[in-house]
Structures are given as C-alpha cells and as structure tokens.
Amino acid sequence: MRTKIEIKNIKKSFASDQGLLPVVEGIDFSVGDGEFVAIVGPSGCGKSTLMNIVAGFVQPDEGAVLIDGTARTKPNSKGILISQHGSVFPWLTVQENLMFGLNGHAQLDKSGLADHYAAIVGLKGFEQSYPHELSGGMLKRAEIARALVVKPDILYMDEPFSALDALMSLRIRNEVLRILAEERHTVMLITHDVEEAIHMADRILVLSPRPTRIQASFDVRIPHPRKLTSPEAQELRAAVLRELGVEE
Amino acid sequence: MSKLKQTLPALAVIAVLLAAWWGTVAATRSVIFPTPWQVVTGTIELVKDGTLWGHIGSSLMRVGLGFGLAVILAVPLGLWMGWVKGAYVTLNPLFQILRPISPIAWIPIAILWFGVGNASPIFLIFISSVFPMIVQTIVGVHTIERRYLRAAENFGVSRYTLFRQVVIPAVLPQVLVGMRIGLGVAWLVVVAAEMIALRSGLGYLIMDSRNAGNRYDLVIAGMIIIGLIGLMLDGGMRVLESHKLVRWRYAH
C-alpha cells in the first residue's frame, strides 16, 4: 500500500499559566492510501491538537506532515476536516452548502453534483432546506456530503459522531462505511469511542495521556460488515480498553 | 385572537392614562393644557390643511438621507475594521471617543458648517446613527464562529467567495441590529435637530405650535405622531430581521 500521510516526529507545546505545556510529544506514524486509521485516547490527551496539525490548521513546533511525500503546512481541499460541532453554514441551504467547496470549478455542473451527494447521504428532498430546519443527524449527513462532493483524498474526522445519539451514530457510521466502500478515501478518525473505532477502522492507534505519544497499535482484521458482538471484536475491544487503562 | 388578548393590557394602560389626563385637565380647568379630544381635533385640523403630511415627509426625508449615508459608510467600514486588525486598532479608539458625544452637542458645529438648511439635521442624523452601526458590524465580524472560517479555509475558496458566502452572511444579522439601533437614534435626533431653525418637519411643528400661540394640542399631537412613526420604523426593521437571509440567526 502506498503511503498517503506520513507524520514525522510531531511535537507541540502550548503556553499556559504554569509555563510551556507539552501536548504532543514525538508522534510518528503513517497512513496508507485508502486506509482507515482510528486514533483513540483519553479525554484531553491532545487528540484534537494532533488532528489539527495533520489537517494543517495548526503548525507543529517540531516535525512535519507529509502528504503524498510533500510537506504540507496549510489546510486544503484535498483533506477535509469533519469536526464534532459541525461547520455546515447555517445561512446557506443544503445545496448551497454542498456547492460551497466547488467554487472555482466553473466547468462543473455544481448543483447536479451537489444533489447527487445529497442523495447519497439520504438528504434527497432537503436540498433547498436550511440547516436549522434539519435534525442533528441530517446536519451531520450534510457535512459529510459537503466533504465528499469535493472528492478529497483524505477525510479527517474529529469525533464526528459524538454529538449524535447512539442509534443515529450507528446509522451514520454504517452509511459512511457504505460510501467508503464505493469511493476510496483515506480516513483518519479521532474518537474516544472504542467500539466506533473497531466498527470502522483498519487500524487503531492508542494514544497515551498528555503529553501524548502512540502507546499501542492494533490491526483490525475483521471483514466488513462487522459485528461488534463477535468474539474477536470483543477481544479487541478489551485489549484496546486495557491500553487505555480500563479493565472490564 | 390571542394576539388581541396580548395587546389588551397595553391598550388598557393607555386608556387609563388618557382618562387620567382628561380628568385632570377637566378638574383643574386648565386653559393651556389640552384635553385628549382637543389633541384629536388639532390633528384633524393639521390633516385637513395638509401641513401634517409635509412635516412628516420632511422629517422622513432627512432621516432617510442621513441614515442612508450612515449605512453606506458604516457597513463597509465596519467590515473592514472587523476583518483587518490594523484598521481596528487604528480607528477604534477614535470612534470610541466620538461615539458617546450626544448628537445634540454637535448642533452648534452643524450650524456653523452647514447653516440652518436641510444639511444640518441630515449631518446630525448621520453622526448619531453611524457609530452604533460601525460598532455592531465590527462585533458581527469578531463573533463569526471560528469553525465556519476554518471550513472556508479548508475548502480553499477564493477571497471573494469567503466574503460573499461566509463573512457577509454571517455578519448580516448584527448589521441589521446595528441598523435598528441606528434608525431609532436617527428618529430621536431628527426631531431635536428640526427644533433649531428649519421651516418644516415634526420637530419644527412642535416648536412652531408652541411659539405661535401656545397651541399645546398641536404640540402633543406632534409628539404622538413622532412616537407612532418611530414604532412603525422599528416594526419595519423587525420585518427585515425575519428575512430568510438572516432568519438562521433567530431560528433556535
């Protein structure tokens, strides 16, 4: 598998009242092209900081992020970040939101493409709705569709489902997996939900508490569609939880 | 029906006030202070001889021009100051000093610069409404949620798209708030400004009615008309707030 993302010895500290607070301390890993890597870690360990660095929103103090072998310092539309709180523009309709990222492609049938992706995520018939008219689950679908419509190589997902209820979270996770089976994207998922990671990822990285580094790595070799109740999934879950310091 | 029920207590208060006013005037046998009915007949007189519409038109024209000029300056300036930090730190202290100065304090300077024609009240209205709108627009830019700016950055859109599809729509609700405040102040100030030396407008009507024979019925008629028009202007701005371009802000 070709390497898509290469993270080389990333370090990051933030200034605090107690002086310099190291948040990320020497992280190295790479993500293959089309691979789905989930990163789990305790709350406040620096997961989101790591994600912001990889996606290009925050610069590391040391180290570099290479995408396709070239250093990347700024965010761009080849890697779209989907965050917990969502960033669907409330003043644009669903269709306008989906077309937002397509600006600058004059030759494209933007509205057609937008409607196509709205249909893929199950928002057919809501193209002209405003975000405040949608439920939380539909809003998340709109955000995912807006990311997919620009055909990004990489999807950065920072706890994307944690604001949803358990049922909706499961439903949207299944839909994302269905879409990922059709369209190849490299995915980096940050989550605190071990089951979510096992459900979706090819590989799970466990982060240590702050200052964070990679503590363990697990390959998930369970074929899709995955059953979280299966013995191997349960075994993996226990192993990941053990790494996180939780015994069952 | 429920709306009628809601307005009922307010109407009752006004009715009680009118009754107390009428009763007091009748009891004290005042010869100068008019009864509510005299105010009504005074108003009818003004409507019949056609002067009322002229005064209202003049006042509205001055507010329209002064307020309009203020909007044209304040919104782009506020956007610029909100977006460019250098512009903000350079200009904001000056505006913070100018802002608390009452428009009334500008009257002597307005007369000096613009004489006693239409330009003076228009200038005063401009001065009074421009600062709240600048401030509110800046607040609007400063309070755009970071996640939206980051999303725009992520999609790598042009500066033009960023402004047209993110910054301006995000700021618009605050701009409207500023406009509502600005228009309210403008209407307050036009009446004061017209009391100086003009020969038209509702402010002039009030001063002229007093000076030309103590027509306090017309003074009060003018006051009530000012209040009602102010209410209508505010209502108009509220209608704008329900426009679909800004409704997202109030939809929760």
| Residue A185 DSSP SS3 | coil
Q: What is the pLDDT of residues B169-195, one digit of tens each?
A: 999 999 999 999 999 999 999 888 887
Domain count, chain A: 2
Q: What is the pLDDT of residue A226?
A: 87
Q: Which residues pair with A81 in a beta bridge?
A: A156
- Of the partner residues B151, B152, B170, the one whose CB lies closest to the CB of residue A91: B170
What is residue B232's predicted lDDT score, i.e. its pLDDT?
A: 94
Q: Are residues A234 and A223 in the same domain?
A: yes
Please give the residue range of the domain that contains residue A52: 1-74+154-248
What average pLDDT score do residues B119-125 get? Answer: 92
Q: Do A91 and B161 touch (CB under 8 A)?
A: no
Q: Which residue has the higher pLDDT, B250 or B39?
A: B39
Question: Which residue ranges make up each domain of chain B?
Answer: 1-30, 35-250
Question: With contacts defined as CB-CB under 8 Å, which chain B residues touch A83?
Answer: 147
Q: From chain A, pick out residues whose CB is under 8 angstroms from the CB of B170.
A: 91
Mean pLDDT, chain A, integer:
89
DSSP bridge partners of A204: A38, A218
- Same domain for A144 and A160, yes or no, is no
Q: What is the pLDDT of residue B197?
A: 67
pLDDT tens digits for range B218-235: 999 999 999 999 999 999
User: A2, A154 in Cβ contact below 8 A?
Assistant: no
Greater pLDDT, A141 or A44: A141
CA–chain centroid gap for A242, Å, is 23
Q: Are residues A158 and A206 both part of a single domain?
A: yes
Average pLDDT, chain B: 90
Residues A186 and A233 both lie in one domain? yes
pLDDT one-digit tens code per residue, B30-44:
888 998 999 999 999
Percentage of chain B lying above the pLDDT 90 cut: 65
CA–CA gap between residue B79 and residue A119 (Å, rounded): 37
Residue-wise pLDDT tens digits, A147-177: 999 889 999 999 988 888 888 888 899 989 9
Mutation for testing the B interface, residue in A76, A87, A98, A128 having most B CBs under 10 Å = A87
Q: Are residues A210 and A100 in the same domain?
A: no
Instruction: Name the phi and psi angles at A79, rounded to 5.
Output: -135, 110
Burial degree of A133 (CB within 10 A; 0-12, 13-18, 19+): middle
Residues A123 and A219 grouped into a single domain: no
A161 shares its domain with A246: yes
Domain B35-250 sits in which CATH superfamily?
MetI-like (1.10.3720.10)
Using the Cβ of A130 and the Cβ atoms of chain B, whether some distance falls under 8 Å is answered with yes
In DSSP notation, B150-211 reads HHHHHTT--HHHIIIIIIHHHHHHHHHHHHHHHHHHHHHHHHHHHTSS-SSSHHHHHHHHHH
pLDDT tens column, A185-232: 999 999 989 999 999 999 999 998 888 889 999 999 999 888 888 999
Distance CA B30, CA B89 (A): 58
Phi (first) and psi of residue A5, to 5 degrees: -120, 130
- Maximum distance among all Cα pairs of chain A, rounded to whole angstroms: 56
Residues A125 and A241 in one domain: no
Quick check: B247 pLDDT over 60?
Answer: yes
Structure tokens that stand for B85 in this block: 């930090």
If asked whether residues A124 and A207 sit together in one domain, one would say: no
Distance from CA of B149 to the nearest CA of A (A): 9
Classify A57 as helix, strand or coil. Answer: coil
Q: What pLDDT, on the 0 to 100 scale, is given for residue A110?
A: 85
> Where does the pLDDT of residue A89 fall: very low under 50, low under 70, confident under 90, or very high at 90 and above?
very high
**Closest CA in chain A for residue B173:** A91
A42 and A103 together in one domain? no
- The secondary structure element, H or E, covering residue A26 is strand A19-32
Q: Which chain B residue's Cα is nearest to A151?
A: B155
What 3-state DSSP class applies to A222? coil
Nearest to A100 among B153, B165, B244 (CB): B165
Residues A147 and A221 in one domain: no
A55 plus A136 within the same structural domain:
no
